[in-house]
Amino acid sequence: MSTAHAIRARMTTLWLVSVLALAPRAAYAEVTRVEIASHGDVLGGKAFGLAGPYEKIVGKVFFAVRPEHLGNRSIVDIDKAPRNARGHVEFAADLYILKPKDLARGNGVALFDVLNRGRKLLLGYLNRNTTSALDPNIETDFGDGFLMRQGFTLVWIGWQFDVPRGGGLMGLDAPIASDSGRPLAGPVTTTFTPTSASDDVVLSDIRRYAPVDPESLENRLTVREGFYAASRVVPREQWRFGRTVNGTFVTDATSVSLRAGFQPGLTYELTYRAQAPVVAGLGFAAFRDLAAALKYQPGAVVTAQYAYVFGASQSGRFLRDFLYQGFNVDEEGRKVFDGIIAHIAGAARGSFNERFAKPNSLEFFTATRFPFLDAPQRDPSTDKTDGLLLRTAEAVAPKIFYTNSSTEYWGGGRAAALIHTTLDGRQDARVPDNVRIYLLAGTQHSSGTFPPAGGQGQQKANTNDYRWALRALLVAMDRWVREAAEPPASRHPRLADGTLTAHQRVAFPQIPGVRSPLTIPAGYRADLEGPAADHRLPLLVPQVDADGNERSGIRLPDVAVPLATYTGWNFRSLSVGAPAELLPLAGSYIPFAPTRVAREQTRDPRPSIEERYPSRAAYLGLVTEAALRLVQEGYVLAEDVPGLVNRAMQHWDYATRASSSSGQ
């Protein structure tokens, strides 16, 4: 950073801190100060359409909350956190903002991005960038500039205490809970499934929780084969904490070494006693209080009329938990987020607000916790009635989009159908008026990339790129909040019309070389004690057509005018072990034969490309028609139609290259 920029950043920080100190204090504590480390122009002052040039602000935001306040009591162990002289609990979070240099040229919306393991998501999902920029600096980091051209102020705040710092990763500085100064102790459990044989495994989700006694005989490691298989205990003398570095064994509390070596495809579970839990739920308070500050607090680092928030996967689960625990109201009783987009979270939540929380855990199968619906529902297992929005008063309820890929329906740990069906899986449930639900048909957890690539699955990875729809839905959310304009109707599978079905009745075709999805097991309730097999959830999935493509949801051109079958599931390849098990969070791309002759040779029941489309031009015409229908329905933006058609051209050329005639 230049000397001029350094002076400017220091002056801005001093100005901001003094303004906050002089501003009238609310009845309860909130954002106490912001320290700005750097403040400068984005891409040398490049203009993004009518919003003009953008600037970047990087720093840290400091908070103080009253532990006895009703809005904070749900934060686990906040009563055991250290307090300042005023009796408040203090914490801090990394801050990163991209804003129009002239806020008057922006759209007045602070769009928060829930970091995923400390990493930014928005520029990849909405700006379609091709880099994983932790600190966006170059042209390609900003993709096509969509969010900037729309005028959004983009906000990132650290919420996760166990993110390693450095390299642009963002995290939360939260206090340790204790009992009158004595460290709290308790059990910690983590599960992992290696994809290759190795002597050591590094466990990133427990990096903050060292074992009290690494040599204790009570520390336990088990192993099992298959989802519901019985576990067997690994003899204690066969494993230890640590790993081998350059031929020398090094004690390491975040690694486990097994004398016989870990085997790919097997599931291991480690349990041990740790101490010094972090008050992890303060991450929810960080989002609540910063968003409220930008909307309501005089002298905030930026100002906004509205606040929206987007989160995907782990971050989407964070948002479902944020809603469930009633954090969309600030300490003054005001609405925090006006719009929430929880993406690829399914019906899951996570380990975000509990003693010895493990937010970094992937939780493939253990994130399914009652309740699943927004509206109140009764749990027959506990006789408890609860709902995701039960703690959110109507006056502060946000507009909500739940967007899911096919993977969230098929993957046992996400059970997406349960956000719109009854718990027994027998009836469609009522969706609240402030909620819309969308299935992105024929997609996998992470948006597909082209051309199709191999990997750890038996089939090539799903290439269906659903990001086009996310852009249109964000615009729809903005209009819904500002103008009360009805967004596109929910589009998800339903039991009533047969587009949602028990997975045993899915009509997937018998494709040579493709394992049947009928063997995929259902997930289970992770919040009930006892064997997982005793608490299985209904596995309801989207019904498919004769090609194996889903009949419901937002059918982008890849599915509406297909050259392949796209699934939300993929089985593990032999190379990573357990080929009868699902590869977590993965989908499949199963191409059609280019010609009738090629199809007949492999006995593929699906018509070939040449049998479906008389020419390349005819195919592209159908793609254009499908894209324009989606524009009319509000699921795709008109400006993105050329991109969809261009992608289709590339796909045609790829899919037909093995044919002697391309059909042109």
Q: How far is 522 from 365, CA to CA, in rounded Å?
A: 10
Instruction: Give the helix/strand (H/E) hosting 620.
Output: helix 616-633
Q: How far is 652 from 592, CA to CA, in rounded Å?
A: 11
- Decide if pLDDT at 481 tops 80: yes
DSSP 534: G
Angle at 30 between CA 402 and CA 6, to 5 degrees: 95
DSSP 574: G
Residue range 75-96: mean pLDDT, rounded: 97
Q: How far is 561 from 167, CA to CA, in rounded Å?
A: 42
Strand-pair category, 198-202 with 255-262: antiparallel
What contacts 21, CB < 8 A, 6 or more positions away?
Answer: 33
- Decide if pLDDT at 15 tops 70: no
Going along the chain from its start, the domains and CATH numbers come out as 1-176+279-352 (3.40.50), 185-275 (no CATH), 364-664 (no CATH)
* pLDDT value of position 5: 40
Which has the higher per-residue pLDDT, 24 or 635? Answer: 635
Residue range 344-364: mean pLDDT, rounded: 90
Q: How far is 531 from 536, CA to CA, in rounded Å?
A: 10
Mean pLDDT of the chain: 92
The encoded tokens of residue 137 equal 């600096």
Strands (E), 66-152: 89-100, 109-113
What is the dihedral angle through the alpha carbons of 145, 146, 148, 150, rounded to the nearest 10 degrees? 160
Q: How far is 182 from 343, CA to CA, in rounded Å?
A: 40
Cα 80 from chain centroid?
30
Which residue's structure tokens are 């002289």? 85
- Decide if pLDDT at 447 tops 60: yes
- Closest of 57, 56, 73, 55 to residue 65, by C-alpha: 73
pTM: 0.93
Residue range 319-332: mean pLDDT, rounded: 97
Residue range 631-637: mean pLDDT, rounded: 98
Q: How far is 12 from 151, CA to CA, in rounded Å?
A: 23
Q: How far is 286 from 297, CA to CA, in rounded Å?
A: 15
pLDDT bucket at 364, cuts 50 / 70 / 90: low
**DSSP character string of 573-598:** PGGGS-TTSB-TT--EEEEPPSSHHH
> What confidence tens digit (pLDDT) does each residue in 207-228 have?
889 999 999 999 999 999 877 7
Q: How far is 521 from 227, CA to CA, in rounded Å?
A: 8
pLDDT bucket at 530, cuts 50 / 70 / 90: confident
> What confidence tens digit (pLDDT) does each residue in 552-598 have?
999 999 999 999 999 999 999 999 999 999 999 999 999 999 999 99
DSSP 31: E
7, 15 in Cβ contact below 8 A? Answer: no
pLDDT bucket at 366, cuts 50 / 70 / 90: low
* pLDDT value of position 663: 36
pLDDT bucket at 133, cuts 50 / 70 / 90: confident
pLDDT bucket at 363, cuts 50 / 70 / 90: low
- Decide if pLDDT at 16 tops 80: no
% of the chain beyond a pLDDT of 90: 83
**Cis amide linkage into residue 451, ω under 30° from 0:** yes
Which has the higher per-residue pLDDT, 180 or 102? Answer: 102
Residue range 302-313: mean pLDDT, rounded: 97
Q: How far is 470 from 402, CA to CA, in rounded Å?
A: 11
Residue range 471-479: mean pLDDT, rounded: 98
The encoded tokens of residue 89 equal 């609990």
What contacts 552, CB < 8 A, 6 or more positions away?
Answer: 439, 441, 491, 492, 493, 494, 499, 500, 542, 543
pLDDT bucket at 412, cuts 50 / 70 / 90: low
- Decide if pLDDT at 354 tops 50: yes
Output the CA torsion sign for 310, 314, 318, 320: positive
% of the chain beyond a pLDDT of 70: 94
The encoded tokens of residue 658 equal 């093995």
- Closest of 355, 276, 351, 262 to residue 314, by C-alpha: 351
DSSP 413: T
- Closest of 499, 502, 611 to residue 545, by C-alpha: 499
* pLDDT value of position 365: 63
Instruction: Tally DSSP H helices, then E strands, for the chain.
Output: 12, 28
